[in-house]
Structures are given as structure tokens and as C-alpha cells.
Amino acid sequence: MKVSPLTLFLVVLSNELMDVLSSSLKPQRFKGRVQRDRRNIRPNIILIITDDQDVELGSLQVMNKTRRLMEQGGAHFTNAFVTTPMCCPSRSSMLTGKYVHNHNTYTNNENCSSPSWQAMHEPRTFAVYLNNTGYRTAFFGKYLNEYNGSYIPPGWREWVGLIKNSRFYNYTLSRNGFKEKHGFDYSKDYFTDVITNDSINYFRISKKIYPHRPVLMVISHAAPHGPEDSAPQFSELFPNASQHITPSYNYAPNMDKHWIMQFTGAMRPIHMEFTNILQRKRLQTLMSVDDSVNRIFQMLAETGELDNTYVIYTADHGYHIGQFGLVKGKSMPYDFDLRVPFFVRGPNVEPGSIISQLVLNIDLAPTILDIAGLDIPADMDGKSILKLLEPEKPGNRFRSNKRARIWRDTFLIERGKLLRKKEDGTGDAQQTNYLPKYERVKEVCQQAKYQTACEQPGQKWQCVEDSAGRLRLHKCKGTPKVHAGSKKSRSLRGQTYASNHCDCSSNSYRMRQSERRNQRQFLNIHTTHKFKHRFLRTRPIRSVSVELEGEIYDIDLEIADLESLMPQNITMGSYREDKAAGEAVENVMIGEDGSKAGESVLDSVKVTHKCYILANETVHCEKELYQSARAWKDHKGYIDKEIEALQDKIKNLREVRGHLKRKKPEECDCNRKSYFSRDKGMRNQGKLKNKNSHLHPFREVAQEVDNKLQLFKENRRKKKDRKIKKRMRKGDSCSLPGLTCFTHNNEHWQTPPYWNLGSFCACTSSNNNTYWCLRTINETHNILFCEFATGFLEYFDMNSDPYQLTNTIHMVDREILNQLHIQLMELRSCQGHKQCTPRTKAAETGNKDGGSFDQHRGQLWDGWEG
């Protein structure tokens, strides 16, 4: 059959038109920068994340396989940092490419995997973008600390996520929406091996079924996070591990650093022994990660995908073990908690290259999008590091002013959230670091209340000059004497008050004679009781009889020292009060020396019916409590019940106080103009109430805001009470208010090497450990500048002090501090990579000088003095 050329041409033209129409009508949610014919050769991406892996303490020294594959076979970034040294905030920044102040996950509890995170930020992670453009996405391992397994985060086709925090045994996984529990069998349950096996199987199956579709895999290990349970084959390695003993190890106390560093002293021997075993167990857990990395590379080589796969290895933050006396932990703004390992291997990456530019955890999401050929959203704060991986092109040898590669030299470090003020209106005390202690004491002693030697009523402290001529604050000894005549019993009868009306009459009003006459007539008609004059006994009490332990002591009150304390005139009402006071004085502890009996009676404080606090601040009880174990036990049980009852009463009183604060009536101001018009003789309607008899619209808004604030405070208080009750049920005596503490005992580690030295308690952080810092690294500067929420400042120059041992804030010029503060405030509110990665003056002009101390526009800050 013959086909004419015209017919063939028409058939081909119609096919082309149909292809064009079908491609134009097909919806595309995310348009990439790669062409359609290149979609099938896009590279695979594998991101390997470890939990709490340090750089400063030498954890990479034992991972020989990882260093050979990643460091020697790829690029090593020597200045890799995280912007927040905590698990959940840092992982949230990795997923979104944003600073903490833009994704609002401040701590491991605050907004971590919360409904607001799920609604606002989780739909905009790098996994969502890649999944919508053809990548087969998969996640294996630890996700976020508060992830509960009730849903599958968007963007992941394969999901094997750990529920809650890191574990190696006895954990639960969410496998594609179904919960899967694991036990204590190493061959089936060891977490590192489980997620490694799952990721390798998924990659093989994906390439077998969809050979031309790229794969994105995230393998998030729990190692070396606690509880540091290693695989059995590695439990005897590194018996003499000492990489953690750096120059800052047990360098304490640190009075020039922020509050928790001042509070923490040097470690005890049991703490130091714990740090040695902890370092050993952390290294043992990393050996399983080292094997996992090696197995993944073997799988890539076997499938033929090694040359078309980018592999990124990093950690969510660093760690400290004994540094500055802190037994263990993270969350500090120092290099041992901020620096992380960072390796990249893949196409066009020069093997063995070392890159010194700053890279951050917020750069991961933009980099992954750039590798996939997608446009980077403008709201991401990080930048793609692909341009740093490109080999430098040979320049023109005749061009002398070669321009350096432009990159950031400064970034923001932020941790925690702003401290809330207490309900009574007083916030945490502001911390200052400009005056030495003796100067501050000298300044305090200038106040009038410290000028006298414990003579003023209620004075608790006095200033005393020591032998060296310096002033010291000493506590006043003893309790002030309470005059017997000044004691008054509190009336328990209910009092009635008028309604909320202003009474602006004068207190010195005196009735006229006619008004007094009318009053007498009214009383004579309506009352039957006749008021007569009565003579009262006014002779003062001369002695008091006190019974103690079966013996009666007579105290003469006509002693010269005691006579002045007794009232001279006693009415019938006050006599009844003195009688009640006399009953309260019964059984008061009398000293063995009869001459001091009167002084003991008047100065002692009755605590229980058998125990007293004497004037010299010592406690004394009846003899039977010291001689009978049964009496001691009964009385101690009685005291415990009293304490519990008083605690309940205090709680109820606080509830009532909070209620009264919320329902406080408006105060009367007699000086302001009355609501009643004197001219018209009527109330001005409509000024404070509208026609519907509701609150004024302005007050309605204020009332609504106040109600929401009170509800928030009430929920926060209830949450705090639940935590306290939970600690009491567990018998946790280690937790202290405002501090983050932990208890370690012999049952903590379930795998060898075991801990058998008993339990101990240590505190690692505090609630006021909230800060914002500038970290600058360039050719001329290597500094850290921090502002804490308490008002404390820190400055370290790592060129001269690489281990950040000394805070040199006093040596920095005030103008430089103002410039650093302005730059820090700009970064604290930045949004998007254009604002969060400012181009320095040196980069714009082509100079080699760092831009950290360039002049800033605007007024200098006046926040520091001294």
C-alpha cells in the first residue's frame, strides 16, 4: 500500500499537536528547572543523620569506614554548624530550611510536632516538593521528639518513623501508619540495623520496579543519643576512651559565664567516672552507624547508582561530656554543641576536597531542592551549597583583581523562647556582668536599710567590713522580740461591705448636736439593753504559771526588763485576748536555767505542741521525742500531715487570690469628674455603656484578651502541677525548680558495659538558658557574641581562645558591641535567604577583610553601661 508524502506529513503533524496539547493540559503543581527529557536521569539523594554526634570530642576518629567513603571520597565541610543545639528545633530547621524564629519550634517540647507545626510548616518540607515532582521519597528512623505516630507526615511515600525519642531496644515504629512494637532481641530489634535493612530493601525494590525514577531517602539514626546501648559485637571496644578530655573538661566554676555555668561547680569523682564510660558507650553505638554507611555504599555500587547519587552525612547538633563541669548534654552556645560533621559525596564533587565556608543545618533543604533541579522557595532562610561544591574554574592569568567567591561569614544562633513574667508582675532578675561582686556589694551597702546593725524592724541583712577593708553582707542573727501587748487575735467573724460605691466623705466628720440627740432617741426606742458605766479591773498581770513536762514554773513579770513589755491598762475585751494569748503561751519551752525562763518564753516560737524555735534559732522539743522512737515517729507523721494540709491550703488560697485578681472591681477616684452631670442632675448615658447595656466596645476587646491570658496562665499552672505530682509519684528528688536535671542509676544501661557505682544526680541546663548569638568566621575574625534573656553578655575570640575558656566582654569596645547588637537584632527577625544571609561589606567591595565589624546604619544601642 502506497502512502503519499502529504498523508505521512499530516499524520506526523497531528501526533505532534496531540503531544503538545496533552502536555499543556496536564496539571503541574511544582515546575522544576530541569527539562522534561532530563527527568529520568535526575540524581538520587540519600541524607544520613545521626543524633547528638559531636566533632570537638573526637567521635569521628573511630568511624574509619565513613571517613574513607565520605571524607576521602567526597567533600568535607570543616565549618559546619547548627543554628539551634537541640534535637527537635534543629531537625525542624533541616526539614524546612528555616531558622527557629520562623518555624516556631523553640524547644523539644514547645511546638514540636504540634498541630500548628503540622498545619503550617510540615506541608512545606523538602520531601513535599520532591514527592510532587517525581521523586520516590522514603523516611527511616527518628523524626521529631514529640511525634506520636498518629499520622504520616506529608511528602513521604514510604514511612518508617520512630515514635517519640531515641531508643535502641523496646521502641515502637510507625510503619506506613501502622504501629510496630519491637523488643530486646538484637537480631530483630536493634534500631540501627532495622532502619538500615529497611532503607536498603526499599532502594533495591524501587530501582527494580521504577528504574528511571530518582529516590530520596532519609536515614535518621538514634546513635549516639542515649540510652547508648551498643551492639553486642562492639561492647568491649574502646576501654580507654579519652577523646572527650579537652582543655575545657571540668573547667569550673565559670563565674564569667551565664547563670547555669556559675551554678555548676567542678564535677565529683563519680561524675568523672560516668563521663569516661559515657564516651566509651557513645563510640560503641557509632560503630553500628559506621557499618550502616558502608552497607549503603555497597548497595549503591551493586545497583549501579553510586555515580548518580548524592550522599550527605551530618548530625542534628553536637554534644558535651564534662566540658565546663557540665556532666553531659547539649543546648549551650559553644562550639562543642554547635559544630557537626558534614560530608557530601556525589556527581561533580571533587574527592578529598576540604571546604572552609560556613554551612548550616538550614542549608540542607535548599541544597536538596537544588540537587533535584527545583526552584528554592523565597521563604527558606538557608542557601544551596552546590556552588561551593563546583570546582573553581581557572582564571585569566592577566587578571590581577580576581574576585573571591561570595558566601556568608556570619549566622544566627538561637535557643529557647522569651521568659514569661511571673503572675505577680515580677520577672526573673536581670543578670549583669559589668561589676565585680565586691563593687556590687559596695553599691548595695549605700542603701539606708543596710546602714544599721540589725536594728530596723524586719531587717534581715547588715553590711559588715571585714579585715581586708571590704564590705560583706551578713545575715542578722536571732529574731526580733515581739511585745506581748502587740499581739492581737484575728477576728474570724464575717464582715459585710457595701456595694461598689465610692465614699469620698472625710474621715474626720463629726455629728452635730441635733444628730446626736436624734441618735439617742432612736436607741432608747428600738433597744432594750441599757448601757451603764462599769468599772474594769485594770491591774496588770504580775506572774504567769507555765507547765512543762510535769513541772510548774512561775515567771515573775515585774522584772525591770519585762515590766515595760506588759500593757498598763487592760479593758475587758483586751483581757479576753490576753487570756487567749496566755493559753497559747502554755507549754512554752523553758530553759534549764531558771534565770533565763522569762527570756525563753517571750522569744521562743511555738511550731507544734511539742517543739519550739528558740531565740538563737535552734529547735528544741520535749524530752520524750528524743527518748521514745514511737513518740518520735508519731510526731513526725503529725508534722508530715500538717505540711500536706498546709500545702493544700496554700494551693486553694492561690486559687482564690487568682480569682480575686481577675474579678477586681474598679478603684474609686474621687478626684475625677463624676459620672452624674451636675448641670442636668442625671447620669450621662452612653459614655461607658452602650444602648444594649453591654461593656464599652474598647473594654470588650480588653476583656477578651484578658480572659484568654488568664486561661493560658491557668493551663500552664495545671500542667506544672501535673509535672510536680508525677515527680512525687516517681519519688524523683533530683528535679529542682528552674533546672534541667537527670538521675543515673545502675538500671539505666541494659547492655554492657554496665554502671555499678550507684545513683547520682546532675543538672545540665536551666530555664533561663535562652540566648541569641552571632557566630562569625572569616579571614580576620573568629568570634562568638551572645545576648542572654537574663541580660548577660558573652564574647569569645576563638583566634586567641579556641576553647572559649574566658569571657572577654569587658575588653570589647562599646562601639563594636553596639554594631554587634544591631546586626544580631536584624538576624533575629530575618525572613528568607536574602535577609538571613546578608552580604558583607567586604564581599560587596571585593576586599579580604571580614564584614562583621563594618559600620551599620542607624542609631547606636544604649543598652550597656559601665
Told to judge if 786 belongs to the known catalytic residues of this protein, a careful annotator would answer no
- DSSP character for 329? B
Which residues does 548 contact at the CB level (< 8 Å), separation at least 6?
A: 587, 588, 589, 590
Per-position DSSP letters for 162-176, written without gaps between them? E-SS--SSS-EEEET
Q: How many CB atoms lie within 10 A of CB 694?
A: 10
* Residues contacting residue 404 through CB under 8 Å, at least 6 positions apart: 843, 846, 848
Query: b/e map of 45-69 (b: 16 or more CB within 10 Å)?
Result: bbbbbbbbbbbbbbbbebbebbbeb
Rounded to whole angstroms, how far apart are CA atoms 744 and 764? 13
Nine cell digits for residue 66 = 565513613
Contacts of 318 (CB under 8 A, 6+ apart): 52, 53, 54, 55, 56, 82, 85, 330, 335, 336, 337, 338, 339, 340
- The contacts of residue 636 (CB under 8 Å, 6+ apart) are none
- Say how far apart CA 450 and CA 469 lie, in whole Å: 17
Instruction: Let me know: does 101 contact 417? Beta carbons within 8 Å.
Output: no
Say if residue 153 is preceded by a cis peptide, omega within 30 of 0: no
The grid coordinates listed for 727 are 515527680
The span from the CA of 635 to the CA of 112, in Å, is 48
Query: How is residue 486 written as a grid cell?
Result: 502587740
Contact in structure between 352 and 821 (CB atoms under 8 Å): no
Cα distance from N-terminal residue to C-terminal residue, the chain: 101
DSSP 334-354: SHHHHB--EEEESTTPPTTEE
Per the CB < 8 A criterion, the answer to whether 62 and 287 are in contact is: yes
Closest by Cα among 139, 84, 133 to 112 = 84
Cβ atoms of 215 and 203 within 8 Å: the answer is yes
CA gap 464, 473 in Å, rounded: 6
Say if residue 753 is preceded by a cis peptide, omega within 30 of 0: yes
Q: What is the CA radius of gyration of the chain?
A: 38
The catalytic residue positions are 87
